[in-house]
A and B are shown apart, each in its own frame.
Chain A
């Protein structure tokens, strides 16, 4: 590799790209060439820098200065001032939500509380270059596993690390690997669940866009550990760039012999195939994903049997979430003891969160377990984005519980507040909780696969009743009815989608009881969000009975 005195990484992640990131990349490349800097300064594309709210963004190394909100007209200034003369263009520097004085390197509190293991390379390397991934230590973990460790030792290392699934269910990852490795059968298969569909989550997209090789490497390691020869990545169809970057990564890896026969001369053979989803939230459920992968409607299967023994085409199948896998290379490389030193007693490592909604800096952050809700919301995500304070948070997404201010000092950890997949959907005091849970009900009604009665029929009844409440046409008996319907869904639905559909509703009805009662009993929306003009008065109602 030739020596460059500086690298400029231009974010072409999904959100920056849509704001013209790619056009900036092109313009910058041209101007660097025109200025005769092409031999000294390397301009590359990268995945999301984690400042997606303020894109398009780019970062200049070695200083690590992030420029955000860059316009085409700014490019000339960046080239002439920073790249030629070494003078930082202060007005474009991204300083984080709380705007402290600029401090290159240590940077802002936005980054200060973060600890990047999974996202270490995102925004640092060109995701479409395997050389860059290798240059930062990529594929060393795979080499170590394949040449210095037995499959069983690999499984043990993951077990010892305490890593648990990051897709929401938090199942111990090493144990899952062990189940698959021990399952009877001649052929095994690994599947990467990249069907990120839980609203509020966009971390997996970021990983796939920004560092696909890390996930690829982890899949090969997992395949080696459990004895699989094939891996499938099920990426949601909407993530076009993730698909693109991952397919590119596969092609690069095949070319370098990191996929295919006899990897690292170890005799181990493995290959990976990308499978594009087609728009169904329920396919994030692992058995629905397997059904979809086999070419069927994404209807969850009955458990037992579990995929670890009977999964894809009846074979023992290891299904892991993107973020879960992205932890694996570091664990193999640095060791389980190192990994266990991060996080809390029962929750090891880091977690990626995606605060969004009413926060100043929505985006993707990576922090060690044990951090409090308040730290994430106020210190990292910058607190409320408007004048009103934060009223509550849907933790993990619509399938998670709703918490209020009184829980903000709780810690994100499996032994305290389980973070689900990591979405933090924040809403401030101006928002109406009834309106929000009606929207949640809408989501689940839309995404129900339609197989079982409680979810298909009950989901719709719940939606109808809650919509009625937001229009001021609720009746008192519905408060109990909704409660029993919610419990029915929770207890009797066939899969997690239906079982978790009423969670936000039930938890917020406890938390904001008065607000619900006000809608139903007084036909009044305290925040004024709901349009109650169609509300019927008791008198009108009586008249309609008489008529």
Chain B
């Protein structure tokens, strides 16, 4: 890359050709406030917060969109720039409900931060404000369009990263709004509930459906036996909510915090991830050996399951019938574990702590009641669980480490890497290799499927049988693979898809903010946990072995089918559910 030299605030700055002024300034330690910019997304330059003065230009360009040029003279701090920023924030606030104290984004809101940064002390503009009802139609996501600043980050992530496109900008000018077609509710759209829109929203315009008060109610109810499971990616991120740097491993502290909250048992979704691997590896082996439908595709990401049901209903036969680890956990807890404990499963409450927003939808599916009860009662996101800890005055960062309860807390390294893109593939191959060959897998680290490339491919030789593997994260990448599967171009054996960029560690329910850099750090933490585990293959998990011996029988057996496998329903991407009278034009 060619280097260029420009001047920012009187200082010579070196930058690479193709970089933006914002990137060059940030690299040089010069801060420019932003709002609509996000490192995951193509810049749009719509909020106009990051404007700078460039010598020779009569207006102020946005630094997020302005490419650097040799000899360019930039000033980030002139009266014109300060005035423009201030007026932009004043204009945004004039159209914003100033209910910061009760907003779910209080202290994590980027608009609030900007208001402080540019020094807003009064609101000069009065008058009309756009009024909108909140949309509480979905089990996962709440839309509060009144708090929307129209930065289009949600639209960009929904279209560019996820290729779902269930929300878009409509109308124009003052009447511009962002939402589903015809002003409908989100529940009537092709939304897959990945929650990336929530993760990328700078304000409280998009939030998750938060069940924490119901969880508190059950925790204080002596008749309820409340157990909690924590997904692999949570331990690599929840520390961020308590001021710890991204990538800090806090498994033990998290367990301690949950125990202090009052859960009767603190268990690990890694356990049921191991169970998923055993079932899924056997399913793969069966499909390969018996001529079943290939490629087989993973089914543990509920956003992805929603996506394939909606956009590739013709390919549902490729999807593994395995439930996700969360749902396997619930089904096992309310049957096997309740029996073991001798308690009535009706009294048992299963709470999940998940990096995921779509899990909230998943646990509401009618298929997810194979225990005879709702297998998983509540799903808390990482952020919501941390919020409850804050409510309880628990500072996770300062707690001593604690251990998961047994037996549903006994896990392997294969279970934990579920939290990173490529992890399910790697874990499944570790087990599939040994199921097929009966020999020990030569290397546990299948690095070809690790990392943050959108689509990863590898061919693993299992005793002369080449297993062609593909891994995609982010649904636009999944779409790319699925189009090739549909056309018959792709001859993969096994495909892993995670709805969210980076896999679960980049889930819609993870701490704010989530950026490429932060995802990388969380992934490092997850792979470090795997590396340090004694057991790293799911089928070697003694608790899993005991579960099969005592209760399930064998993988893919009758009981497994009843409790651990599911079926899928095709959906229509173009038809909205309700009558289509435009709600607003």
Do A and B interact?
yes
Check if A484 sits within 8 Å of B83, measured CB to CB. Answer: yes
Question: B45, A302: Cβ atoms under 8 Å?
Answer: yes
Question: Would you call A445 an interface residue if the criterion is a C-beta within 8 Å of the partner chain's C-beta atoms?
Answer: yes
Chain A residues in 8 Å Cβ range of B152: 451
Contacts of A492 in B (CB 8 A): 48, 51, 59-60, 84, 87-88
Question: Who on chain B is nearest to A280 by CB?
Answer: B172
Asked if B59 and A491 make an inter-chain contact with CB atoms under 8 angstroms apart, the answer reads yes
Judge whether B47 and A450 touch: CB under 8 Å.
Answer: no
- Contact A459-B48, Cβ < 8 Å, known A453-B88, A454-B87, A492-B60: no
Q: B46 at interface (Cβ–Cβ under 8 A)?
A: yes
Q: Mark A299-340, 1 if CB is under 8 A from B, else 0.
A: 000101000000000000000000000000000000000000
Task: Decide: B83 and A488 in contact? CB cutoff 8 A.
Answer: yes
**Residue in A297, A445, A464, A491 whose Cβ sees the most chain B Cβ within 10 Å:** A491
Q: Is the CB of B175 within 8 A of A302?
A: no
Chain B residues with CB under 8 A of A52:
none
A508 contacts chain B at the CB level, 8 A cutoff: no
Identify which of B84, B94, B149 contacts A491 (C-beta below 8 A). Answer: B84
Question: A361 contacts the other chain (Cβ, under 8 Å)?
Answer: no
Interfacial chain A residues near B149, Cβ < 8 Å: 453
| Contact call A446/B173, Cβ cutoff below 8 A | yes
Q: Give min CB distance, B581 to chain A, whole Å.
A: 22
Please tell me if A37 contacts chain B, counting CB pairs below 8 Å. Answer: no
A458 at the interface (CB under 8 A from B): yes
* Closest B residue to A282 using CB positions: B172
Interface size on B, residues (CB 8 A): 35
Residue of B62, B83, B91, B127 contacting most chain A CB atoms (<10 Å): B91
- Chain B residues with CB under 8 Å of A491's CB are 51, 59-60, 80, 83-84
* A460 proximity list for chain B (CB < 8 A): 128, 173-174
Chain A interface SS verdict (over half): helix
Which of B59, B65, B128 sits near A490, CB closer than 8 Å? B59
Min CB gap B260→A, angstroms: 44
Residues of chain B in range 111-133 having any CB-CB distance to chain A below 8 Å: 124-125, 127-128
A448 contacts chain B at the CB level, 8 A cutoff: yes
Contact B87 A459 (CB under 8 A): no
Query: Which residue in chain B gives the minimum CB-CB distance to A297?
Result: B169
Q: Which residue of B lies closest to A446 (CB)?
A: B173
Q: Determine whether the beta carbon of B175 is less than 8 Å from that of A450.
A: yes
Given A457-B92, A459-B174, A493-B59, A450–B169 Cβ distance below 8 Å?
Answer: yes
Residue of chain A at shortest CB distance from B171:
A450
Are B172 and A494 neighbours in the complex by a CB distance under 8 Å? Answer: no
Chain B min CB distance to A21 (Å): 35
B:29-85 near A, CB below 8 Å: 43-48, 51, 59-60, 62, 65, 67, 80, 83-84
Considering the complex, give the chain A residue whose CB is closest to the CB of B126: A464
A385 to chain B, nearest CB (A): 33
Complex: A452 Cα to B49 Cα, angstroms: 10
| Chain A residues within 8 Å of B452, by CB | none
Tell me which residues from 124 to 154 in chain B have a Cβ below 8 Å from any Cβ of chain A. 124-125, 127-128, 149-150, 152
A461 to chain B, nearest CB (A): 5
Interface size for A (C-beta < 8 A) is 33
Given known A450-B171, A492-B88, contact A461–B94 (CB-CB < 8 A): yes
A136 within 8 A of B: no
Contact A453–B48 (Cβ < 8 Å): yes
In this assembly, does B17 line the interface, its C-beta being within 8 Å of a C-beta of chain A? Answer: no
> For residue A464, which residues in chain B have a CB less than 8 angstroms away from its CB?
127-128
Q: B172 and A453: CB pair below 8 A?
A: no
In the complex, which residues of chain A have a beta carbon less than 8 angstroms from the beta carbon of B84? 454, 488, 491-492
B545 contacts the other chain (CB 8 A): no
The interface residues of chain B lying within 8 Å CB-to-CB of A477 are 124
Partner of A494, one of B46, B94, B127, B171: B46
From B169, which residue of chain A is reached at the shortest CB distance?
A297
Interchain nearest-CB distance for A197 vs B (Å): 14
Identity of the chain B residue whose Cβ is nearest the Cβ of A463 in the assembled complex: B174
Per-position binary interface string of chain B over residues 538-564, scored 1 when its CB falls under 8 Å from any chain A CB and 0 otherwise: 000000000000000000000000000
Q: Which residues of A contact B98 (CB under 8 A)?
A: none
- Kindly identify which residue among B43, B46, B59, B173 contacts A453, using a CB–CB cutoff of 8 Å: B46
Residues of chain B within 8 A of A302, CB atoms compared: 43-45, 65
With a cutoff of 8 Å between Cβ atoms, the chain A residues found around residue B47 in the complex are 452-453
A454 contact from B44, B91, B127, B169, Cβ within 8 A:
B91
Chain B nearest CB: distance from A466 CB in Å? 12
- Judged by a CB distance under 8 angstroms, whether B95 is at the interface is yes
Contacts of A499 in B (CB 8 A): 59
What residues of chain A lie closer than 8 Å to B59, measured between beta carbons?
490-493, 499
Residues of A within 8 A of B44 (CB): 302, 451
| Distance between Cα atoms of A490 and B46 in the complex (Å) | 15
Q: From known contacts A280-B172, A456-B173, A492-B48, infer whether A461 and B91 are also in contact, taking CB-CB under 8 Å.
A: yes
In the bound complex, residues from chain A placing their C-beta under 8 Å from that of B174 are 445, 448, 450, 456-457, 459-460
User: Which residues of the other chain, B, contact A488 by a CB distance below 8 angstroms?
Assistant: 83-84, 87-88
Cβ of A485: which chain B residues have Cβ within 8 Å of it? 87
The minimal Cβ–Cβ distance linking A183 to chain B, given in whole angstroms, is 17
Tell yes or no: B176 within 8 A of A by CB: yes
Known A450-B171, A453-B91, A456-B173: A461·B127 in contact at CB below 8 Å: yes
Check B128 against A453 for contact (C-beta < 8 Å). Answer: no
Q: How far is the CB of B255 from chain A (nearest CB, A)?
A: 45
CA distance A389 to B128 in the complex (A): 38
- Tell me whether B125 and A494 are in contact (CB under 8 A): no
Q: List, in ascending order, chain B residues with CB within 8 A of A459's CB.
A: 173-174
Task: Report chain B residues within 8 Å CB of A457.
Answer: 91-92, 94-95, 174
Q: When the two chains form their complex, are residues A493 and B48 in contact, meaning their CB atoms are under 8 A apart?
A: yes
Which residues of chain A (430-459) have a CB below 8 Å from chain B?
445-454, 456-459
Least CB distance from A14 to B in Å reads: 26
Contacts of B45 in A (CB 8 A): 302, 452, 494
CB-CB under 8 A from A445, the residues of chain B are 173-174
Interface: A481 (CB within 8 A):
yes
Chain A residues with Cβ below 8 Å from B62 are 494
| Chain B residues positioned under 8 Å from A446 (CB to CB) | 173
Does residue A88 face the partner (Cβ distance < 8 Å to B)? no
Residue of A nearest to B151 (CB): A453
- Chain B: minimal CB distance from A431 (Å): 26
Query: Would you list which residues of chain A between 396 and 449 have a CB under 8 Å from chain B?
Result: 445-449
A449's contact among B48, B60, B173, by CB below 8 Å, is which? B173
Closest CB in chain A relative to B502 CB, distance in Å: 28
B172 adjacent to A454 (CB under 8 Å) = no
Give every chain B residue within 8 A of A456 (Cβ-Cβ). 150, 173-174, 176
Please give the distance in Å from A287's CB to the nearest CB on chain B: 12
Per-position 1/0 for A454-478, Cβ under 8 A of B: 1011111100100000000000010
Return A129 CB to nearest CB of chain B, in Å: 40
Contact of A450 among B92, B95, B128, B173 (CB under 8 A): B173
Q: Tell me the minimal C-beta distance from A476 to chain B in angstroms.
A: 13
Bound together, the chains give a CA A452 to CA B149 distance in angstroms of: 10
With CB as the reference atom, state the residue of chain A lying closest to B35. A453
Tell which of A280, A445, A447, A460 has the most Cβ of chain B within 10 Å. A460
Among candidates B65, B87, B176, residue contacting A484 with C-beta atoms closer than 8 Å: B87
Can you list 22 A-B contacts (CB < 8 A)?
A445-B173, A445-B174, A446-B173, A447-B173, A449-B172, A450-B173, A453-B48, A453-B149, A454-B87, A454-B88, A456-B173, A456-B176, A457-B91, A460-B174, A461-B94, A461-B127, A477-B124, A488-B88, A491-B60, A492-B51, A492-B60, A494-B62
Chain A contact residues, CB within 8 Å of chain B:
280, 297, 302, 304, 445-454, 456-461, 464, 477, 481, 484-485, 487-488, 490-494, 499
With A450-B176, A457-B92, A491-B80 given, name 8 new contacts (CB 8 A).
A302-B45, A451-B44, A457-B94, A457-B95, A459-B174, A488-B83, A492-B84, A493-B59
Nearest 3 CB-CB pairings of A with B = A450-B176, A457-B91, A488-B87
